Amino acid sequence: MRCIKCRGTASVEVRRHNSAFCRDHFLEYFENQVRRAIQEQEMFRPEDPVLVAVSGGKDSLALWDVLLRLGYRADGLYISLGIDEYSRVSRDKSAAFAEARNATLHVVEVEEEYGFTVPLLASHTRRVPCSACGMTKRHMFNRIARDRGYAVLATGHNLDDEAASLLGNLLRWQTDYLARQHPVLPAEQDGFVKKVKPLYRLTEKETAAYAILTGIDYIVEECPNAAGARSLLYKEALNLLERESPGTKHQLYLGFLEKGRPAFRQAGERPELHPCAQCGEPTTAEVCAFCRLVEQARRTRERRAAAAALPRADGRDGGP
């Protein structure tokens, strides 16, 4: 296999573009795709301060790396979720990445801020961990980016993530999600920071190749709660189609942005937002979903503590 640019030995094949690249030309291709995404979708300007949400995984660290290489003013945000070993290792990888590049990383602990780790928030509210986690991250990303003066928050979602999420939304005809699914979520209303996904033109395999070729030390293990997630099933289905017909994911997602989404946009209504009565974040309800989640977890903890303190009928104390 030869590089289509220099005819040298190719390191990475990009079948959907009928191309193969040597190391240097692959990195150039990767950077061009990111630059094109940022410019075509008007994500941010070179002078805008960007906050990159990093998890220690290949996608978010590759994104941070490429933004720094392209000369953007990109800082990182690591939210420690309190998921045992996974959180510890992913935090260390993120911190080491930042240190090696002399880049700024903000580290925020969910437990320190709200009194619960994500697993505790989930168990105290009887939710699946990813639901409590998603709510927590969305809330904290927005608040921290806004409070610390960033114009935009960037996440490492790639083409596989976006195509899988689109497939899920299509299978259930989630028209409100379909109307909103886009690599740019503008800060349309007060209190919202603009959110962007500069890797949406690149597949998971390409992002992994970038991380390996640039020597990024990322956490390989998935979060233990990821196993069995529906999104993994959709990714598998799309990978099967992609193997037989290269370009399926690209056509599905980029075709949707161009031809499908406008129809859902026209039909969709935009809900009215106002500040949450407790935390001030924008919400459609009186109190936002995240504040209600934390409140419910607190009530459960108090109830359990009170039950544990009650004297028991057998005379023994009610401690654990």
Q: Which does 278 bind (CB under 5 to 8 A by kind): Zn ion, ligand Q46, none?
A: Zn ion
Answer for which of 51, 196, 276, 294 binds Zn ion (CB under 5 A) is: 276
CA 240-159-140 angle, to 5 degrees, is 125
Residues forming the site for ligand Q46 (CB under 6 A): 129-130, 133-134, 223, 225-226
User: Least distance in Å: CB of 165 to ligand Q46?
Assistant: 12
User: Least distance in Å: CB of 284 to Zn ion?
Assistant: 12
Q: Which does 223 bind (CB under 5 to 8 A by kind): Zn ion, ligand Q46, none?
A: ligand Q46
Separation CA 260–CA 255 (nearest Å): 7
Residue (94 or 225) nearer to ligand Q46, CB: 225
Can residue 137 be called a binding residue for Zn ion (CB under 5 A)? no
User: Least distance in Å: CB of 146 to ligand Q46?
Assistant: 22
Residue (11 or 117) nearer to ligand Q46, CB: 117
CB 60 within 8 A of CB 53: yes
Q: Which does 133 bind (CB under 5 to 8 A by kind): ligand Q46, Zn ion, none?
A: ligand Q46
Separation CA 51–CA 68 (nearest Å): 12
Can residue 209 be called a binding residue for Zn ion (CB under 5 A)? no
Strands 49-54 and 19-21 come out as unpaired
Answer for which of 62, 288, 294, 297 binds Zn ion (CB under 5 A) is: 288
Sequence letter at residue 33: Q
Q: Which does 130 bind (CB under 5 to 8 A by kind): ligand Q46, Zn ion, none?
A: ligand Q46
Residue (22 or 223) nearer to ligand Q46, CB: 223
Q: Which does 198 bind (CB under 5 to 8 A by kind): Zn ion, ligand Q46, none?
A: none
Separation CA 284–CA 301 (nearest Å): 27
Answer for which of 14, 25, 211, 297 binds Zn ion (CB under 5 A) is: 25
Residue (7 or 126) nearer to ligand Q46, CB: 126
User: Least distance in Å: CB of 241 to Zn ion?
Assistant: 29
CB 203 within 8 A of CB 239: no
Please give the residue ranges that form the binding site for Zn ion (CB under 5 A): 3, 5-6, 8, 22, 25, 276, 278-279, 288, 291
